[in-house]
Amino acid sequence: MKILIIENEVYLAQSIATKLSELGHICEMCTSTRDAIKSNNYDVVLLSTNINGQDFNPVIETFKKSIIILMVSYISNDTVSKPLSAGAKDYILKPFMIEELIRKINHYQDYEKLKKRNEAYDKYLTHSFSSMANEHNFDNIELPVFISSSYQKYADSFAFEYAKKKNLPLHFITLSDPKSMSEIEAINGNSLIYIIDLQTLKKSDRKALYSLLENKNAIISSTDKIEDYEYEVIEIKSENKIFDQGEILPIEDYVKFIVLNYQHKFPDTELSKKLGISRKSLWEKRKKYDIVKKK
């Protein structure tokens, strides 16, 4: 990582830089906030609040995308509270062990990575489920609840949307995993468990599952019709009836579905190539199924 050390005690700054450099980090030093804000290309900024007469707000604003850790000699409103409110991540009290500083740096680096990853996942899921038009009143749902849908994506959309609306951490478990039962048993607290592939579980083993689900927040999905009515069962049907047949699709039905749902995403040349037919055949399919291509 590239680290900027803003410290007017040169010996201390050099000592920190030496130890961090030994760990493979690239360190630069400056003794004033005025010099510090000339560049903002740093992963971490170590800001000493002992520099008299310096305004720390421009530094924090300049490096708002970096991990800013305050190095303080005493805790006060000016040295800690105000800079944290302005956007600094954390503080460390002088004198400190370099290992503690590194622990804080690694912690916030991991946090930022997870934050960006979660933002990407959330954006992807929102995009992926954007075509799911089902509206549910989650306030009237009591957990555990079973979801029956021959199209797995509809159940996925229900579970992830429920977790988002209720602001619950989500645990994903598939019953096709031999360790699934022990995973479910180990989960405690106010978490949502999303369990898929109920159809793979033998009926004789389902009682054990139901026993584990007592007092747990769980959504369980199956691509088969659920006939265990011990708990609430919600059946979600797709807008495209071919997914609700519960069997392998005939080739003609598959082609019809693909043309209906993907002709607005791909040009005819690419769509026909993906289907393994000619553009002329694609045109004939549209005519046969009375499918109008929207401009």
Q: Report the C-alpha gap between 17 and 5 in whole angstroms.
A: 8
Please list the ranges in the chain whose pLDDT falls under 70: 132-135, 228-230, 238-249, 294-295
- Same-domain status, 208 and 266: no
The pTM for the full model equals: 0.66
Note the pLDDT tens digit of each residue in 197-212.
998 888 888 888 988 9
Q: What is the pLDDT of residue 80?
A: 92
**Which residue type does 155 have?**
A
Q: What is the pLDDT of residue 39?
A: 77
**Of 117, 148, 170, which one is at a domain's C-terminal end?**
117
Distance of CA 232 to the CA centre of its chain: 28
Q: What is the pLDDT of residue 85?
A: 93
> Is the residue at 238 inside a domain?
yes
Note the pLDDT tens digit of each residue in 49-91.
888 777 888 899 999 889 999 999 999 998 899 999 999 999 9
- Same-domain status, 163 and 145: yes
Q: How many domains does the chain have?
A: 3
Q: What is the pLDDT of residue 246?
A: 52
Question: Residue 111 sits in which domain range?
Answer: 2-117
Q: What is the pLDDT of residue 25?
A: 92
Helix H or strand E encompassing 91: strand 90-93
The angle that helices 268-275 and 279-289 make with each other, rounded to 10 degrees, is: 90
Contact 210, 195 (CB under 8 A): no
- Same-domain status, 107 and 156: no
β partners of residue 2: 26
Note the pLDDT tens digit of each residue in 97-118.
999 999 999 999 899 899 999 9
- Same-domain status, 48 and 72: yes
E strand segments, 20-88: 26-30, 44-48, 67-72
All residues at 6 or more sequence positions from 242 whose CB lies less than 8 Å from its CB, including other chains: 249, 253, 254, 256, 257
149: domain CATH number? 3.40.50.300
- Same-domain status, 232 and 262: no
- Same-domain status, 9 and 113: yes
> Is the residue at 130 inside a domain?
no
